[in-house]
Amino acid sequence: MLTKRRYDSEKVKKEIMESALLLFSQNGYNQTSVADLSKASGYSKGHIYYHFQNKEKLFVLLARKTIEEWHEKWIRKAAAYSSATEKLYGMARHVLYNYQTPLLKSGQELASNPDSSAGLVKELYDLSIVPKNAYRAVLQEGMDNGEFAIENMDESAILLEAWLRGLCQLTSIQELSELEPLLNEAITIFLRSISKGDT
Amino acid sequence: MLTKRRYDSEKVKKEIMESALLLFSQNGYNQTSVADLSKASGYSKGHIYYHFQNKEKLFVLLARKTIEEWHEKWIRKAAAYSSATEKLYGMARHVLYNYQTPLLKSGQELASNPDSSAGLVKELYDLSIVPKNAYRAVLQEGMDNGEFAIENMDESAILLEAWLRGLCQLTSIQELSELEPLLNEAITIFLRSISKGDT
DNA sequence: ATTAAATTAGAACGTTCGTTCAAAAGTGCA
DNA sequence: TGCACTTTTGAACGAACGTTCTAATTTAAT
């Protein structure tokens, strides 16, 4: 039994967050005004400030939530794969369909603003670490397994991350699913460079 | 003998363009105000509008100029390499040091603005085509040479472009030169997938 | 020296933005 | 019903933005 709520404030808050996530993802941080957030959610501008300290805090909240959910979902999903090799393919798909690349690109936009506080920049930077660590964990597992032979773990993780990110940012692609074969091909090529038995 | 110029308007125009290029590259389109351009160039806001129609036109002018110079420079440089394989390594370096990734990321920012005119979007899109075509030309040359065996040319060009772009956008890197070994490694891995004799 | 054109500056305009505020409306309990 | 509290609104603010305008200054030719 939930504690009885007199108002459905939490529900409203979630509604605002959902429509805000959509707008930020589609149009970026700077190109999404609080008035836009108001119109899209159906609540007044003032009301948005009742629930959130300001636009920046709302964005960071959404970004963190997105990354955390992405990561948790991945942890759950990863258990189903029986090899590190399979995990890499699965990770690529997971990035494609869950990572919200456009939202996090907006984060870079914010972080690169000279007026942004150091704390904000740090917070956004921490978020960008999450996927790299996830890649590295899979690579490490493959090393421990004996599936992979990786000389420079850092380098490999970065190469992998950059490739997937670059692919997810392609402007010429309309449907995410069009990207899937490209991601698969990238993983296949990348795997060839770290598979045991390679020089 | 040049035609005698009564005013050095052209020189001033170039000064403004140079400092504008710097600012747009560092801070992005939206986060660079005309006031900033004025301050950095040392000329008044009004004067900027004497030389350029508006902020958007100035930006597009700079973006086109940047890409065109990048391409011309590459064409000249490419002649010096004797194989398509070497050309790929050279191209990676050329992208790294001449492509002005941050500036063209700003272009995406502009293009994704819902208020941007169709003409503007088209113009910016055309710019994004340039590097892909350059990659493809090298891949094609390698095919004609017999150096490469590529099944899907489009796919390969996209994979290559995405990887290089992703690497050039890494936020964790301070000095461009730190990226060079990563780019080289990426090319090496990529080459292995298209070298003749591979499956 | 006068004049017309080119160049430059800086104030001003109309918008839009993020944010604040005072008040209204809704809600559940006494 | 009355009351204290939460929720919601919408007007208003000051700052910043891109742009325009007027006027001052400089230049080169008469």
* Number of domains present in the structure of chain A: 2
**Rounded Cα distance, B124 and B118, in Å:** 10
Q: What CATH number did the domain enclosing B19 receive? A: 1.10.10.60
B185 and B90 in a single domain? The answer is: yes
| Rounded distance between C-alpha atoms, residue A174 and residue A13, angstroms | 31
Q: Write the pLDDT tens digit of every residue in B147-156.
A: 999 999 999 9
Domain limits at B35? Answer: 8-52
**Distance from CA(B47) to C1'(C2), angstroms, rounded:** 27
Nearest of B179, B129, B184, B127 to residue B157 by alpha carbon: B129
Q: Does A166 touch chain B (CB under 8 A)?
A: yes
**Would you say residue A146 lies in a domain?**
yes
**Distance, angstroms, CA B8 to C1' D28?**
13
For strand C, is any atom closer than 7 Å to the CB of A35? yes
B9 touches strand C (CB under 7 A): yes
Do A69 and A135 reside in the same domain of the chain?
yes
Domain boundary among A35, A52, A69: A52
The two structure tokens encoding residue A112:
């690169």
Contacts of A186 in chain B (CB under 8 A): 159, 162-163
Residue nearest to nucleotide C9 (CA to C1'): B44
In the block, residue with structure tokens 């504690």? A3
Q: Same domain, yes or no, for A90 and A23?
A: no
Q: Does A1 reside within a domain?
A: no
Same domain, B115 and B146: yes
How high does pLDDT run on average in chain B?
92
Asked if residue B71 and residue B31 are part of one domain, the reply reads no
pLDDT given at position B191: 97
Mean of pLDDT over chain A: 92
In Å, how far is A158's CA from the nearest CA of chain B?
Answer: 8
Integer Cα distance of A168 and B166 in angstroms = 9
Same domain for A42 and A66?
no
Q: What one-character DSSP code corresponds to residue A148?
A: B
pLDDT at residue B161 greater than cutoff 90: yes
Quick check: is B32 in a domain?
yes
B107: helix, coil or strand?
helix
Given the structure tokens 């773990």, which residue do they identify?
A: A153
| Residues B47 and B72 grouped into a single domain | no
DSSP codes, A53-68: S-HHHHHHHHHHHHHH
CA dihedral (A165, A171, A173, A174) positive or negative: positive
The CATH number that applies at residue A174 is 1.10.357.10
Phi then psi for A148, rounded to 5 degrees?
A: -110, 155
Q: Give the pLDDT of residue A198.
A: 55
- Considering the domain architecture, whether residues A170 and A117 belong to the same structural domain is answered as yes
- Residue B199 in any domain: the answer is no
Reported confidence tier of residue B1, pLDDT bands at 50, 70, 90? very low
Residues B34 and B58 sit within 8 Å (Cβ to Cβ):
no
Query: In this predicted structure, what is the pLDDT of residue A113?
Result: 84
Looking at the fold, whether A90 and A45 belong to one and the same domain comes out as no
* Residue A22 resides in a domain: yes
Maximum distance among all alpha carbons in chain A? 66
Query: Rounded distance, CA A13 to CA A47, Å?
Result: 10
Six-digit token pair at A178? 């069009």
Residue B3 lies in a domain: no
What single-letter DSSP state applies at residue A43?
S
Average pLDDT for B24-45: 95
Q: Return the closest-CA partner of residue B95 out of B163, B27, B19.
A: B163
Report how far residue A40's alpha carbon sits from residue A106's, in angstroms, rounded to the nearest whole number: 19
State the smallest CA–CA distance between residue B177 and chain A in angstroms. Answer: 15
> Taking CA B17 as the corner, what is the angle to CA B16 and CA B18, rounded to the nearest 5 degrees?
95
Residue A123 lies in a domain: yes
Note whether B154 and B163 are within 8 A (CB).
no
Alpha-carbon gap, residue B131 to B70, rounded angstroms: 9
Q: Is residue A14 domain-shared with residue A83, that is, in the same domain? A: no
- Domain final residue, candidates B52, B69, B88: B52
Q: Are residues B89 and B119 in the same domain?
A: yes
A199 inside domain: no
Q: pLDDT band at residue B112, thresholds of 50, 70 and 90?
A: confident
CB contact under 8 A, A28 and B109: yes
Write the residue in A28, A167, A190 that is nearest to B189 by C-beta. Answer: A190
For A40-89, write each residue's pLDDT tens digit.
999 999 999 999 999 999 999 999 999 999 999 999 999 999 999 999 99
Average pLDDT over residues A18-31: 94
Q: Residues A101, A63: one domain?
A: yes
CA A106/CA A24 separation, integer angstroms: 7
Burial A79-117 (b: 16+ CB within 10 A, else e): eebeebbebbbbbbbbbbeebbbebbbbbbbbbbbeebe
**Which among A113, A185, A190 has CB closest to B31?**
A113
Q: How many Å apart are B1 CA and C5 C1'?
A: 25
Q: Please, where are the H alpha helices in B52-117?
A: 55-78, 84-98, 101-111
Task: Report the distance from CA of residue B52 to the C1' of nucleotide D25 in Å, as an integer.
Answer: 21
Please answer whether residues A51 and A130 qualify as being in contact, where contact means their C-beta atoms are separated by less than 8 angstroms.
no
